[in-house]
Amino acid sequence: MSELAVTGAEAAAPRPPLGADGSPPGAGRGLSALLPTPDLVSTKLLELRKRTGLMITVVLLTVGFPVLVLGIRLLLHAVDPSSFGPAGSPGLFSGLTNAMAEFGFIIAATVGATAGATDLSEGVFRQLVVTGRNRVALYLARIPAGLSILVPLAGAGFAVVCLVTSFAGLPEPTAARMNGVSVPMRLSEGQLESWLLTHPNQATQLAGLPLLASGGGSGAVAKLGPSSPAEQPAAVRKARAEVRKHIGTIYSTYTLAEVTQSNPAVNEMAKIGAWLELEVAIGFLAGLGLGSLTGQRTVSTISLIALQLIVTPILAANVIPYFINGQRLVVGLAMDQLRPIALGSANGGGGPRAALFGGRGALSIPPMPTWAMVAVIVGWMVVWSAVGAFRMARRDA
C-alpha cells in the first residue's frame, strides 16, 4: 500500500521543464551531450537496415550493377573469346565508375532523406524527444549509421571493378592513339618532340598540317630532325616550327591519352575510390539535411535527383553571363573538377585542367581555383549538416 502511495506521489510530482532543445535541465549543456552514443548510433543503424526494400536497392545499385555488367562480360569472353574481348578495359572502367558515382549520389541521397524524415513522417519524433536525449545528438547519430552502410557497399562495388580491370582486362598498350596517330607510350616531353621531328607524317597529322613527302615521291618520308634549313622543304620547316611551338599542348594531349587508354595504376585507383566515396558522402549528408529540413522523404529525394541529373549537367555545360560564380556554388561542378583524370574520357570534357588529384571533369566552363573547389565541397557537407541539426533542434514535437 505504501509503495503504491509513493508511486502515485512520484507520478503527481511536477516534472522539470524541458530545455529549448527538448532535453531536461542540465542535459545537453556540454559538448559531450551533443555527441551520439554508440547505442544511439546502433539504434539508428538498425532502423535503416530494417527497411528491406531500401537496403535491396542500395545493394543493387552499389554492388549489383558492376557485378552484373562485368559478370556478363566475363561469361561472354569465356564462351567465345574470339568474338568478345576481355571483360575489363580502360573505357569500361571509366564508364562504370562514372555511372557508379551517379547512382551512388542518388541512392545515398535517398538513404539520407529517409534517415532525416522518417521519424517525423512515422510519428515517432515525439517519443524520441520525451526520452530526454539531446536533439542534436539524435540527428548526428544518423550520420555514422548511414555512412556505415553506404561507404562499405560503394567500396565493395568499386573493388570488383578494380579487380576485373587489373586481372581480367586488356593488356597494357604499347602505343597511345591521338588523332589516329600511334605514339609510343611513356615518353618524356623531350623524347616526344624528338620522335615527332623524325616522323613528319605523324607530326603533321597531329599539328593539323598537310601530310609531307620528300621530293614529291609518294613513298619517301622527310625528316624534321637536324639538317640545314636550306635543305629542308618549306613544308618540312613549317611542320618543325609547329611541333616546337605547340609541343606543350601536344604533350598534354599525349599524357591524357596515356592515362585514359591504359589500365589505371594502383595509386590512381586509390584516388578514384576516394573520390567515389566522397561523392556518396556528399549525397547522404545533403539528403539527410534536406530531409530533416522539409520532413518529406519523397520531396527531398526528387529534389536532389533533379539537381544531380538535370541542373548540374546544364550548369556544367553552359556559362550564364554574370552568374558564373553562382554556378560554381553547385557541388556537382566542384566534384566534376575534382574528378580524377582517368575518368575524364567518359565525360566528353575539353583539354586537361590543373586541379586537385589531377581532376578533369565534364566542365565546359572555366574551372574555379582549387581553394574555392575545396570550400564548395566542404561547405555543402557542413552547411547541410548544420541546417538539418538546427531544424531538428527547433522542430515542435
What is the predicted pLDDT for the residue at 318? Answer: 87
Q: What residues contact 207, with CB distance under 8 A and at least 6 apart?
A: 239, 242, 243, 246, 250
> In terms of pLDDT, which residue wins out, 174 or 296?
296
Residue 148 pLDDT greater than 50, yes or no: yes
Structure confidence at residue 135 as a pLDDT band (50, 70, 90):
confident
Name the least confident of 64-73, 112-121, 215-224, 376-385: 215-224
Write out the E strands in the chain: 175-178, 181-184
Structure confidence at residue 43 as a pLDDT band (50, 70, 90):
confident
Distance, in Å, from the CA atom of 116 to the CA atom of 142, rounded to the nearest integer, reads 8
Residue 155 pLDDT greater than 80, yes or no: yes
What is the predicted pLDDT for the residue at 234? Answer: 67
pLDDT tens track for 221-248:
445 555 555 555 666 667 677 777 777 7
Q: Which residue, 237, 218, 217, 219, is CA-closest to 227?
A: 237
pLDDT tens track for 74-89:
999 899 888 888 888 8
Q: What residue type is assigned to position 83 of the chain? A: S
Average pLDDT rounded to a whole number, residues 366-386: 94
Residues 303/290, Cβ–Cβ less than 8 Å: yes
What single-letter DSSP state applies at residue 88? Answer: B
Percent of the chain with pLDDT over 90: 38
Q: For the whole model, what pTM was predicted?
A: 0.77
Phi and psi at residue 201, to the nearest 5°: -60, -45
